[in-house]
Structure 1
Amino acid sequence: MHITLEADYAVRIVNCLAKNNVRMDAKTLSAQTGVTLRFSLKILRKLVAQGIVRSFKGTQGGYELARPADQITLGEVIECVEGVITFSRCVDNEEFVCTCGDSADCRFNKAYKELSQMVREKLYSITFAQ
């Protein structure tokens, strides 16, 4: 099981902002994180929309964390680009049709829900200040 490249890049970008603790332009963020400028801008738009990062226009513009690094979690950043973290498609997905019949009766559904919750709890316990 892997997180997507986009989620990995989002984590790198937020970590870079947290580590430097200054407003940075997208080009500098791109260079320091190894993420292409185009992809960085796409991810930054999502991070801004979710209130994780703030953007500023103009000659002194750029990006900075919207909150202190100890108030931003790994889980929040990953879910910003991935959506809710679940171990399987059958967990809390009304559109998914379980081959076991009713997902409430599925012998795997309970395990998947528990695993999903454990992973989410762990990811939400890790901040960018740590």
Structure 2
Amino acid sequence: MYITLEADYAVRIVNCLAKNGSRMDAKALSAATGVTLRFSLKILRKLVAQGIVRSYKGTQGGYELARAPQEIPLGEVIETVEGPITISRCVGGDGEFQCTRVEEGECRFNRAYAEIAKLVRDRLYAIHFGE
């Protein structure tokens, strides 16, 4: 299981804002994180919509964290761009995907996948940007 490039970039952007401690414009964020300006803006829109980052318009505009860094868990940033953290499609239960099932109709591996996903999610939510 890999974290996508978009999630990696989102973590870089939030971490940069946390370390900087003040408002930064998108161009400065892009330069500081090595993320293209276009991709930075796409990610910032998602972070703003989730309430992780606050945006300001105008000549003194830019972006800053909407909460203290120690209140922002790594898992929330990742889930903002990735969606729910799961390790298997059968864990989501949305019915879109088929998986191997036993006679009772329950996936043989669903419970193990769900437990592993919970461990990963719990660990990612235990790490905050203010640490």
When normalised by structure 2's length, the TM-score is 0.95
Q: Does 1:51 align with 2:68?
A: no
Q: Does 1:90 align with 2:90?
A: yes
Provide structure 1 residue ranges, at least 5 long, that are not aligned to the other structure: none
How far the C-alpha of 1:96 sits from its partner, in A, is 1.9
Query: Percent of counterpart pairs with the same letter?
Result: 72
| Larger deviation, residues 93-102 vs 34-43 | 93-102
**Pairing 1:27-106 to 2, within 5 Å after superposition:** 27-94=27-94, 95-100=96-101, 105-106=106-107
CA distance in structure 1 between the partners assigned to 2:13 and 2:71 by the alignment: 16
Which amino acid in 2 is paired with 1:124? Y
Say which SS state the counterpart of residue 119 (structure 2) adopts: helix
Give the structure with the higher percent helix.
Answer: 2
Are the counterparts in 1 of residues 22 and 64 from structure 2 also a CA contact under 8 Å? yes
Are the counterparts in 2 of residues 46 and 80 from structure 1 also a CA contact under 8 Å? yes
How far the C-alpha of 1:99 sits from its partner, in A, is 2.9
How far the C-alpha of 1:106 sits from its partner, in A, is 1.8
Question: Which residue matches 2:113?
Answer: 112
Provide structure 2 residue ranges, at least 5 long, that are not aligned to the other structure: none
CA distance in structure 2 between the partners assigned to 1:64 and 1:103 by the alignment: 51
How far the C-alpha of 1:101 sits from its partner, in A, is 5.6
Say which SS state the counterpart of residue 12 (structure 1) adopts: helix
Say which SS state the counterpart of residue 64 (structure 1) adopts: strand
How many residues get paired? 130
Q: 1:101 to 1:71 in 2, by over 3 A?
A: same
How far the C-alpha of 1:43 sits from its partner, in A, is 0.1
How far the C-alpha of 1:102 sits from its partner, in A, is 7.7
- Output the aligned Cα RMSD: 1.4
When normalised by structure 1's length, the TM-score is 0.95
Which amino acid in 2 is paired with 1:79? E
Which amino acid in 1 is paired with 2:46? K
Say which SS state the counterpart of residue 90 (structure 1) adopts: helix
Say which SS state the counterpart of residue 91 (structure 1) adopts: helix
